[in-house]
Amino acid sequence: MNNVSAEFGINVFNDSVMRARLPKETYRQLQKTIKDGRHLDVNLAVVVANAMKDWAIEKGATHYTHWFQPMTGITAEKHDSFITPAGDGKVIMEFSGKELIQGEPDASSFPSGGLRATFEARGYTAWDPNSYAFIKDGVLCIPTAFCSYGGEALDKKTPLLRSMEAINRQAMRILHLFGNEDVTSVKTTVGPEQEYFLVDAAAFERRKDLIYTGRTLLGARPPKGQELNDHYFGAIKPRVQAFMTELNEELWKLGILAKTEHNEAAPAQHELAPIFSTTNISTDHNQLTMELMQKIAKRHGMVCLLHEKPFAGVNGSGKHNNWSLSTNTGTNLFEPGETPYENAQFLLLLCAVIKAVDEYQDLLRVSVASAGNDHRLGGYEAPPAIVSMFLGTELTEILEAIENDAAYGSHEKEVLKVGVHTLPRFPKDATDRNRTSPFAFTGNKFEFRMLGSSASIADANVVLNTAVAESLRQFADRLEPAEDFESALHALIKETIVAHKRIIFNGNGYEEAWIAEAGRRGLLNLRTTPDCAPCLLADKNVRLFAEHRVLSRAELESRHEVMLENYVKVLNIEALTLLEMVRRDVLPAVSGYVRSLTDAVEAKGRLGGLDATYELETARRLSELLAAAWRESGQLDAALEQARGDTLTLARHYRDRVSSAMDALRALVDEMETLTDARSWPYPSYGELLFSVN
Ligand code: ADP
Ligand code: MG
């Protein structure tokens, strides 16, 4: 791309395009509708739709779609062309206001977790004018929310928008208390760092497990993995670089702020980070990024794996959700300020997050739970399944000084008083940046690191926004009527620290000792998705979401159901794939190889006692493994057959019985791989997959 700044956002119907193409009055009304978060008026929509269509057609579009994010976690689109018969066998291109505002996809096949049984069968999509329309592959895409006719959310976007409203409402109350008169709204911002693997397409095509499940279900460890740390930040290979260049260009055209690219820790693993933007926009953009990664990798003869754990024995992939709060006047509220007063506001907001993370640890953990991510969290490469918070030494010492009515640091003599003393700046790259913490303060934002690489970032941000909104609500309730604001503020901050400091942990989250320590502190350790899902329906959580009008009980029940259903389906597909691979490929191949070994033994015997130790011993061990694998595949079959009950019972059964049978079977097959002639093995090896791209 020659001129990035000229081409940036050329496929987006963004503010400057709207300003240029809409009549002044229409533009003004649209801005007002967006700002007030109201529904679009039909008369207004007619004009906007027409301008959008003309713009899209100039860019070569022939179709439009309502682009939405159902509870599958990915995006959905159904294309309609603009054509309308105009007599004489001719057509004209039309796009009505109604078509812009609302769509009615046949929703019956999207997961609804029982909502459709209780409510209305159909769903509809409604334009979210906060997100710009864009063109992708000749289709005008209109970002929409997806709801049932009863108004229940059937998607990931609706609760996200509601949670952004909730935190805006409560944060504004706090900001008023601190006299920020110029601020009229607060938005959360997110920059999601995205990890992924690239493997050679030809190798991928020969792995049924990758094709059906996105991860390898079999595979002996290669002689080399990531132990030399030679891949992390290493020189990028030409083929990967060509992919990254094209990806950046496509993302930029869509107005996506792709910024940083580098090799990650595991061989064949990479990362892309955008510059942050408003949370709903980041959510859309992250979905588009994942989609484009997969599409563009194919053009370069590669496949992009977004699974959380494609390979055993090397790092899996996550997504770091960098989160902050920003005012419409452009102030980052987690940037410690210059004055004591600004610092007091910063400390209060910090306390709101500490309280939220402690009180809603369970929800934060649930928001990242999936079959894929279960392989990562709790392993020794990703944040543990225990939620805790890293603040760094400096900030922790400040909180301790407030808690104990003590002086902060050696240079201060006076007792640290909120609202009176200035805090030091906390440089982002200060001393101990902790890489093992699930939730870290990184100078002017929080980095939530438990998200899986394939997940929509919506769920995690719904929880974060709502939980922090609740802290802020309680703080505002308490401070608004206070007669002496400063004393009340100081007392509140102190109390919050005392009540919630157990969530703060600055040490190494990968250490075994931390698990015991976290247990003593009463922190939760929810290891698997079936452990997590019931938390969605805990009374305190139902109350939280209801009170802030983010999710109703019925909507939570549906999400609980979808989560468990999905878990069971994923494990079931994995088990069936493994059985097919073992019975139809591995066992026949190894049996054939054993035959060639025994033939060799016989031939050597006929020649008069040539040494056949290798052939005999290998044939013997492989025969034992064949028999054991055959039996173990029967165990797996039996475990699958015994699966019954409600979704939670089923999910537990898959976790306890099915996945352990899969692990046992895999161990046998992986040993066979190390003994079998490479040419007879039916699949590309780990070595070929991880080191195939040059
Ligand atoms: P790293 O964590 O790898 O050191 P950076 O700190 O530079 O990387 O940023 C990581 C991500 O955090 C980027 O996507 C960046 O845009 C995002 N980020 C920076 N500031 C904010 C903010 N105020 N709100 C949300 N995300 C932010
Ligand atoms: Mg980071």
Mean pLDDT of the region 365-392: 91
Query: What DSSP character marks residue 474?
Result: H
For ligand 1, atom 11, name the residue with the nearest CA.
191
- Separation of 447 CA from ligand 2 center, angstroms? 7
To test ligand 1's pocket by mutation, which of 270, 281, 322, 449 has the most ligand atoms within 8 angstroms of CB? 322
For the cut 50, the answer to whether the pLDDT of residue 431 exceeds it is: no
Residue 190 CB less than 6 A away from ligand 1: yes
Residue 443 CB less than 6 A away from ligand 1: no
Residue 189 CB less than 6 A away from ligand 1: yes
CA dihedral sign of residues 437, 439, 441, 444: positive
Confidence of residue 407 (pLDDT cuts 50, 70, 90): confident
- Separation of 193 CA from ligand 2 center, angstroms? 7
Q: What are the phi and psi torsion angles at 288 (to 5°)?
A: -65, -35
Ligand 2 ion: nearby residues, β-carbon < 5 Å: 320
Residue 619 CB less than 6 A away from ligand 1: no
- pLDDT, averaged across the chain: 93
Question: What confidence score (pLDDT) does residue 413 get?
Answer: 59
Residue 324 CB less than 6 A away from ligand 1: yes
DSSP letter string, 567-624:
HHHHHHHHHHHHHHIIIIIIHHHHHHHHHHHHHHHHHHHHTT----HHHHHHHHHHHH
Atom of ligand 1 nearest to the CA of 442: 6
Question: What confidence score (pLDDT) does residue 586 get?
Answer: 98
- Separation of 290 CA from ligand 1 center, angstroms? 18
User: In whole angstroms, what is the distance from residue 669 CA to residue 72 CA?
Assistant: 32
Question: What confidence score (pLDDT) does residue 445 get?
Answer: 95
Question: What confidence score (pLDDT) does residue 420 get?
Answer: 64
Mean pLDDT of the region 485-504: 95
Q: What are the phi and psi torsion angles at 263 (to 5°)?
A: -75, 140
Least confident of 166-170, 315-319, 391-395: 391-395
Confidence of residue 155 (pLDDT cuts 50, 70, 90): very high
pTM: 0.95
Ligand number with the minimum distance to the CA of 319: 2
Question: Which contacts of 53-59 are long-range, i.e. CB under 8 A and separated by 24 or more positions?
Answer: 53/82, 53/93, 53/94, 53/95, 53/140, 54/21, 55/13, 55/17, 55/21, 56/13, 56/135, 56/140, 57/82, 57/93, 59/10, 59/11, 59/135
Residue 275 CB less than 6 A away from ligand 1: yes
Query: What tokens does 64 get?
Result: 């439009």
